[in-house]
Structure 1
Amino acid sequence: MSRVLEPVSVGTVSLAALATAAWLDLATSDAERAAASTGLGTATALPGLLLAAASVVVLLARPRDTVGRLLGAVALVWTVDGALDSWISYSLANGLPGTDLAYWFVARVGALLLSGLVALLLLYPTGRLLTGTWRTAATGVVLASLALPVMLLLAPDSVVFAAGEPVGSTEVVPFPWSDDTAEAMLRGAQVLTLGSVVAAVGLVWARHRQAAAAERTQLRWLLWAGIMCVLMVLAAVTLAVGGAVTTVLLDLAVAALAVSVAIGLLRPGLGDVDALVAWTLTTAVVAAIVVAVDLAVLAAGTALLGDRLDQRDVTLVVLVLAIVVYGPLRAWLGGLVHRLLLGRRSDRYGAVSALAARLETIGTVDEQLPALASAVADTFKVRHVRVEVITPDGGLLSASHGTPPAEVQEIDIAYQDERIGRLVLPAQGYRSMLSPRDQGLLVDLVRQAAVAIRARLLATELQESRERLVLGREDDRRRIRRDLHDGLGPALGGVALRLQAAGNAIEADPDRARELVAVARTEVGEALDDVRRLVHDLRPPALDDLGLEAAVRQQAERVRSEVDVSVRADGTTGLPAAVEVAAYRIVSEALTNVVKHAGASHVDVCLEAGPAALTVVVADDGRGIAEDVTAGVGLLSLRERAEELGGRCEVVCPEGGGTTVRAVLPYGGHVTDTGHDDEGATR
C-alpha cells in the first residue's frame, strides 16, 4: 500500500493543481490577468503535470527511487506554482484573501525549479552523487544552485517585484542592507544558479566518462532530452512569436525530458538512442537550413518584386521550397551527420559488402586481419580495434588499428560454434556503446571476416599439410631406397655369392660348402627381418593379421605394465585401410604420451564406427596438460593424421582431470562390414 501511496499522491496533487489553474483561468479575463501582471497558470502547470506523470511511472516500478521522488517534488512545485499564478489574478479581481501568499510563492519559491533541475542532472540515474573528488564538486554545484532561491527569500519586495505590480508585503525577514546591495546580491545569485546548470551538465559528462555500459546508455537518454530542450528554446527565441507557440515549444521540451528520464530509468534498451540523437540533430540542422533558404528566397523576392508578392505567393514559395529542398537535403545531411557521429553502422548492407569486397582482394591472413580491424573502426567510428585469431596449431595472430585505450571490451569471434579469436574495442565513449542493431551488424562483419580468415587459414594449413605429405613421402622413399640399397641389396648379393661359392666347393670341399650355406641361411634370415621391418613401417602387419580391434588391444598389452588400459570397440571391421592405419597410429601415439607424460593409473580406449566416420577416444586420469604448454610433435602428429583423411582430432583436459584425445576419421560411408545397417545401429 505504501509503495502506491506516494506516486498516487504526486499524481493526484499535480492533476488537482492543473485543474484548479484551468478553472481559475477560465473564470478570469485577459484584462484582469494584465492588471495582476500574470499569465495563464494552466500553461505554467502543464509541464509540471508531465513531470508528475514520469514520476508516477518511475515510482510505481521502483518505489522510493531518489530520481523518481525528485521528479515528483519538482512536479509539485511546478503545478502549484501554476495554480497560484492563476489565483493571483482571480483573487485580485474578486477581492479574495491569499494574494500576498500566492505572490510570495510564485516570485520567491518558483526559482527552486532551477535547483531541482540541477539536482536531477547530478543524481540521474543512480540517485547518488559522483564519487571521489567529483563528489566535492557536485556538492558545490548543488549549493550554488540554491543561491538564487535563498536570495529571493531574503530580498525586499522593492527588488523582487517590478514597479507597479499590485502586491502587498511578502518579505519573510527584513533585509539589513540597501536595495542597491540587495539587487547586486540578487544578480550575483542569478549568475551562480545559472552557472550551476552549466556545471551540472559538465558533471553529467564526467559521470558518462566513468560509467559502466548500462549507465552510459541511461545517460544518453538524458543527452537526447537536453538536445531537445536546447532546440526548443532556440526555436522559441529564433521565431520570437511568443504566446501559445512559445508555450507549446517549452512544453515539448519538458515532455521530452519527462519521457527520456522515465525510459532511461526503467527501459534504457527500448530503442536505439544513438540513432535517435543523430536523427534529432539531423532534423534540427535541416530545419534550420530550410528556414534560412526560405527567408533568403523571400527576402530576394521582396527586394525584386516588392508588393507584388502577396500572401498566397509567399505560401506557395515556402511549400515548393519545403518539397524541393527539405527531402533531399534531409536525406543527405542525415547520412552525413550519422556518419560523422557514429560511422556507417546504419548502412548494414553497405558495411558488410564493402568488407567482403575488401577481403576478396587480400591474399594472406596477415593482410586480412588489419583489413578487418580497419573496417570495424571505420564502420563504428571507434578509435581502437584489435583483432586476434587463433591458428590451427594453437598460436595467435593479431592486428591493431589506432591507439589502445585504458579500458577495453572483448567480443569473441566464432566459426561454426568454434571460438577462433576475439575483437577488442574501447569500453568508454559514446561511440563504443553498441545497440542491439549495432551488435547485429558487428556479428555480421565478424562472421563475414571469420569465414574468409578461416578459409585462408585452412587453405594455408592445407598447403602446409600437402608439403609435409610430399616431404614425408619423399623421406619414406629415400629411407626405403637406402634400406634396400645399403642393407637388403648387399645382403642378398652376399647370399648369392656365398651360394655360388658353396656350389663350386660342394664336390671339392663339402664341409666348406655346408659352412657357406649356413652363413647364407643366416644372412637370408636377417634380410627377412629387414623386409618385415619395412613392411611394418608401411602398414602394421597386425592390422592385416589380427584386425584393428585386436591390433589396438595388442598395443594396450604392450603398455599394461605401466598403466591399466581398457579397450572397447564397436563395428571396426571392414574399415578402409587408411582409416585403420590412422586409428592405430593415433592410439599408439596417445598411449605412448600417457606412459611418458601423464602419470595416469588408467586409460580408456574406445573405437566406435558410425555410418560415415570412425570415432577414436583415448581418455586417461592423469595430470592433464598445463595451459602454458606448447603442443609438441606427438600432439601435432595426432592432428595431422586425422586431417589427412579430412577429419579432426582434439586434445582436451576435462574439469575432472586427465586428458582426452578424440579423433573423428571420416570414410564417406564406405564401410563393407555387414554388421551395420544404413542407420549405423549394431545388429
Structure 2
Amino acid sequence: MTPIQRRVAAMLAASVSIAMVCVNVWVTAQLQQPSYTPLPFAPEDVAGTAFPVLGVLLVFQRPRLVIGWLLCLGGLFSALNSLTANLVLLNAIRKWAVAPEAIWTVAGVSWRLTILFLAVLLPLLYPDGRLPSPRWRPLLWGSAAVLAADVLVTDFMSLPGREGTSPLRFLLDMLTNTVMLLAFASLAARFRGAGPEERRQILWPLVAIATVILPWVFGNPVWWLASFTIPLVPIAITFSVLRYHLYGIDTLITRALVGAGLVGVIGGVYVAVGTASSLFLSDVDRIGGLIAALCAGAFFHPIRRVLQRGADRLLYGSKGDPVALAAELGRRLQRTDPAGGLAAALEVLRDGLAVTGTGVRFSGGRPKDATAGTLEEVARDIRLVWHGEPVGRLLIGPPGARHLPATHNERVIAALTPYVADAAHAVRLVGALQRSRERIVTTREEERRRLRRDLHDGLGQSLSGMAMSINMARHSLRVSPETAERMLGELRSGMDSVTSDIRHLVYGLRPPALDELGLAGAVAEMAGPGVTVEVRGEPTGLPAAIEVAAYRIAQEALTNTRKHAGATTVRLSLERGEDSLSIRVHDDGVGVPAEHRSGIGLASMRERAAELGGTCMITTPPEGGTMVEAVLPVNLNVEI
C-alpha cells in the first residue's frame, strides 16, 4: 500500500468506529441505565473514539509505523464489542427476529481482537514496531492461539447443555491474563536495555495506563472514571512517538509520587489525630478538629522533603535538588585541599546528573585532565570560565544504564558549573604555583651559574690581564717609557670595558633606574613620550622585589602593545593602596582574541605576580582594546 492508501484506510477505520460509537450511544439510551456508571456511555465507547482518532494521527505522521494501525484497529473492535453487546440486550427487550447467538459471537470475537491489538501487540511492539528480541516471538504466537481457543470455547459453551466445560473456560481466562501480563513485562525488559530517549517513550504510556488500571482494580463503584482516563493512553502513546523529547516525564512522575504520598500520609495523620482527639475531647469537637489540622500541617513540609528525596533518588539515583547538591559539594570542598576539590566537584556532579562520568579538559593541556567515573563518550561539552578567563571544558558523559535522564539536568549543571570552574581554577593555580616554584629554583641556579661564568670567564680574566699589564708597565717604565705609556693606555681602555661588563651584570639583577629615579620615574622613562603615565599614591618605600616585578610587568605589557595591539593611545597607571600596588596598562588596540593562547610574555607577567602572591589578568574591556592589570601585595612575608 502507498502512504496515501494507508492514510485513507486509517481514516475509514476511524470513521466506522466513530459511527458505531454514535449508534451505541443511541442503543444505550434505549436500555436501562447501568448501575456501574452515571454516564450515557461506557469506557469502551471512549476507547472506540480516542484510539482510532489518535491512531489516524500517527498513521498520517508515520505511515510505516505499526503502532498507529494497532490503535486504529484496537479502537475499532472495542467500539464493535460495545455495540454488539448492547444490541444483544436491546434484542432481548424488543424481540427482534435476529439470532442473539450470532451477535454475541461477534461481541466475543471483537473483544478478543481488542485484547490482541491493545493489550498484547501494542506493548510487545511499542514504540518502534519491533519485538524487543526474537525471544518474544513464542509469546506473540501463543497469545494469538490462546485468544482463538478462548473464542471457540466460549462460543461452544454458549450452546445449550455445555455448561460442564467451565473449568476449561477458567483456564483460558487465566492464560489470557498471563499473556497480557507477559506482554506488559516486555516493556520492562525493553526499558532495562533502552537508551535515554526510548525510556522516555516507554514511561509516558505507562503513567497513562496506571490511571486506567486504578479504576479497574477498584471495580464497579469507580470503574466509570476510566471513561475520562482511557483517552490519556493513546494521547501519551502519540505524544511519546512524536514529541516525547519536549517535556520531562520524570518531573510528572516525581510530582505525582510526592502528591499521592502527601495525600495519603497527611490524610492518615488527620484521621488518626481526629480519632484520638474524639476519644479524649468528645465534648469539644472544634478543638479536636483544630488539633488534627495543626498536626497534619506540622507534618506537611518534613514529609514532602522526604518524599521528594525518595522520588528523586528512585528516578535519578541521587538527590535531584540542586541546592542540596551544592550544599553537599560545599561540605566536601571544606574537607579537601584545593588540589582535591575538583575531584569532589566532578563526583558530586556525576551523582547529581546520574551519568557515567564527568571530567574537565584544561586549556593548553595543563594540568592533566581530571575525570570522575567512566568518560568513554561525551554527551555535553560546556565551556568553563572563571571571572572572564577561560579555564577549560566541562565534559559530561551519557546517562547511566539504570537511571532516567533527568529534566533537572540543566538546573543541576547551572548550579554546579560555577563550583567546577572555581575548583578547576584552583587546580590550575596549584599547578602554576608548583611550576613557578620549580622555575624559580631552576632560574636561581641558572642565574648563579651565569654570574659565576661571567665573573670567572669575563671579569676575572680581564682583571688578571690588567694585573699582568700593570707588572709589565712597571718593568718597562725605566727601560722604555714609551712602551709603558702605550701599555697604560691599553689598560685604561680595558678598565672601561670591565666597567661596562659590571654595569651589564648589575642591570640584569635590578634596573639601575629604580635606584636613581624611583619606581614612578623609572616607569615613566621606560614608557617614553607616546604613553600617558598616571601615578596615584606614593609608590615609594616598596620592597625591592615588588619594584622589580612592577617594572618588568609594565615593560612587558608595553612591549606587547607596541608589537601586537596597533593602538593609538596607551595609558599606564600606578596606584599605591594600603596593602597593594596596582599596575594597569590599557590600550585601544585590537584586543585579545577569545581563543588566544598565552605566549611566553603573558605567562611571565602572570608568573611574576604569582611569585609574590599577587594576580595578573589580561582582559578585553567592553570599550575595546586590551587591559593588563596586576595587583601586587606591598607587605611581603617571604621565607627563602
TM-score (norm 1): 0.66
What secondary structure does 1:127 align onto? coil
CA distance, structure 1, for counterparts of residue 12 and residue 115 of structure 2 = 23
TM alignment of 1:51-450, pairs within 5 A: 51-96=51-96, 97=98, 99-116=100-117, 117-130=119-132, 134-135=133-134, 137-155=135-153, 157=155, 159=157, 161=158, 183=166, 185-234=168-217, 236=218, 242-243=220-221, 245-248=222-225, 250-289=226-265, 324=297, 327-328=300-301, 331-341=304-314, 342=316, 346-356=320-330, 358-360=332-334, 362-365=336-339, 367-380=340-353, 382=354, 384-390=356-362, 393-400=365-372, 404=374, 409-416=378-385, 418=390, 420-425=392-397, 427-429=399-401, 431-435=403-407, 437-450=408-421
Distance 1:77 1:527, change over 3 A: same
The answer (yes or no) to whether the contact 1:21–1:42 under 8 Å persists in 2 is no
The answer (yes or no) to whether the contact 2:47–2:78 under 8 Å persists in 1 is yes
Deviation per CA, 1:178-226, whole angstroms, max 9, x where unpaired? 876x655544443333222232233223322333332222122133234
Gaps spanning 5+ residues in structure 1: where?
Answer: 162-167, 170-174, 541-570, 588-604, 618-630, 650-663, 670-683
Deviation per CA, 1:469-520, whole angstroms, max 9, x where unpaired? 5753574366336523663145236425624652563243336526744874
CA distance, structure 2, for counterparts of residue 294 and residue 88 of structure 1 = 49
- Aligned-residue offset at 1:279: 2.6
Distance 1:528 1:616, change over 3 A: farther
Q: Count residues in correspondence.
A: 548
- Aligned-residue offset at 1:274: 0.9
The answer (yes or no) to whether the contact 2:358–2:397 under 8 Å persists in 1 is yes
CA distance, structure 2, for counterparts of residue 356 and residue 317 of structure 1 = 42
One-letter identity of the residue aligned with 1:273: I
Among all aligned residue pairs of Structure 1 and Structure 2, give the percentage whose two residues are the same amino acid. 21
- Aligned-residue offset at 1:637: 4.8
Deviation per CA, 1:80-123, whole angstroms, max 9, x where unpaired? 21122221111221122263332112223302222222211122
* 1:12 match: 15
The answer (yes or no) to whether the contact 1:385–1:424 under 8 Å persists in 2 is yes
One-letter identity of the residue aligned with 2:57: V
The answer (yes or no) to whether the contact 2:466–2:491 under 8 Å persists in 1 is yes
What secondary structure does 2:231 align onto? helix
1:640 aligns with 2:603: yes
- Aligned-residue offset at 1:47: 2.8
Distance 1:378 1:300, change over 3 A: same
The answer (yes or no) to whether the contact 2:556–2:605 under 8 Å persists in 1 is yes
The answer (yes or no) to whether the contact 1:345–1:351 under 8 Å persists in 2 is yes
- Aligned-residue offset at 1:75: 0.8
Deviation per CA, 1:32-85, whole angstroms, max 9, x where unpaired? x89xxxx98634312332323432433343345321121111111112211222
TM alignment of 1:488-567, pairs within 5 A: 488-492=459-463, 494-495=465-466, 498-499=469-470, 501-502=472-473, 505-510=476-481, 513=484, 516-517=487-488, 520=491, 527=498
* 1:547 match: none
Distance 1:322 1:534, change over 3 A: closer
What secondary structure does 1:269 align onto? helix
Deviation per CA, 1:282-309, whole angstroms, max 9, x where unpaired? 344444556766887899899x79xx99
The answer (yes or no) to whether the contact 1:27–1:90 under 8 Å persists in 2 is yes
CA distance, structure 2, for counterparts of residue 253 and residue 351 of structure 1 = 37
Distance 1:53 1:326, change over 3 A: farther
The answer (yes or no) to whether the contact 1:145–1:196 under 8 Å persists in 2 is yes
TM alignment of 1:579-658, pairs within 5 A: 607-610=564-567, 612=586, 637=600, 640-641=603-604, 643-644=606-607, 646=616
* 2:524 match: none
Distance 1:65 1:317, change over 3 A: farther
CA distance, structure 1, for counterparts of residue 351 and residue 452 of structure 2 = 59
The answer (yes or no) to whether the contact 1:115–1:146 under 8 Å persists in 2 is yes
- Aligned-residue offset at 1:349: 2.9
- Aligned-residue offset at 1:609: 3.3
What secondary structure does 2:372 align onto? strand
* 1:457 match: 428
What secondary structure does 2:15 align onto? helix
The answer (yes or no) to whether the contact 1:286–1:333 under 8 Å persists in 2 is no
- Aligned-residue offset at 1:336: 3.6
What secondary structure does 2:564 align onto? strand
Distance 1:496 1:259, change over 3 A: same
CA distance, structure 1, for counterparts of residue 365 and residue 268 of structure 2 = 64
Match of 1:24 among 27, 33, 42: 27
What secondary structure does 2:342 align onto? helix
CA distance, structure 2, for counterparts of residue 448 and residue 201 of structure 1 = 44
What secondary structure does 1:155 align onto? helix
- Aligned-residue offset at 1:530: 5.1
The answer (yes or no) to whether the contact 1:208–1:216 under 8 Å persists in 2 is yes
Stretch moving more, 205-214 or 292-301 = 292-301
Stretch moving more, 349-358 or 640-649 = 640-649
- Aligned-residue offset at 1:154: 1.9
CA distance, structure 2, for counterparts of residue 104 and residue 299 of structure 1 = 54
Deviation per CA, 1:568-588, whole angstroms, max 9, x where unpaired? xxx99769984797599999x
CA distance, structure 1, for counterparts of residue 86 and residue 152 of structure 2 = 24
One-letter identity of the residue aligned with 1:373: L
CA distance, structure 2, for counterparts of residue 58 and residue 143 of structure 1 = 26
CA distance, structure 1, for counterparts of residue 155 and residue 196 of structure 2 = 50
Deviation per CA, 1:434-457, whole angstroms, max 9, x where unpaired? 32x323322431332122321442
The answer (yes or no) to whether the contact 2:78–2:110 under 8 Å persists in 1 is no
CA distance, structure 1, for counterparts of residue 460 and residue 591 of structure 2 = 40
The answer (yes or no) to whether the contact 1:209–1:428 under 8 Å persists in 2 is no
The answer (yes or no) to whether the contact 2:45–2:79 under 8 Å persists in 1 is yes
The answer (yes or no) to whether the contact 2:47–2:231 under 8 Å persists in 1 is yes
Distance 1:330 1:252, change over 3 A: farther
The answer (yes or no) to whether the contact 2:254–2:308 under 8 Å persists in 1 is no
The answer (yes or no) to whether the contact 1:40–1:86 under 8 Å persists in 2 is no
One-letter identity of the residue aligned with 1:444: A
Gaps spanning 5+ residues in structure 2: where?
Answer: 512-527, 534-550, 571-585, 609-615, 620-624, 631-640
The answer (yes or no) to whether the contact 1:282–1:330 under 8 Å persists in 2 is no
CA distance, structure 1, for counterparts of residue 295 and residue 49 of structure 2 = 35
Distance 1:271 1:155, change over 3 A: same
Aligned-residue CA RMSD (Å): 4.8
CA distance, structure 2, for counterparts of residue 20 and residue 321 of structure 1 = 54
One-letter identity of the residue aligned with 2:152: L
CA distance, structure 2, for counterparts of residue 292 and residue 144 of structure 1 = 45
What secondary structure does 2:370 align onto? strand
Distance 1:326 1:122, change over 3 A: farther
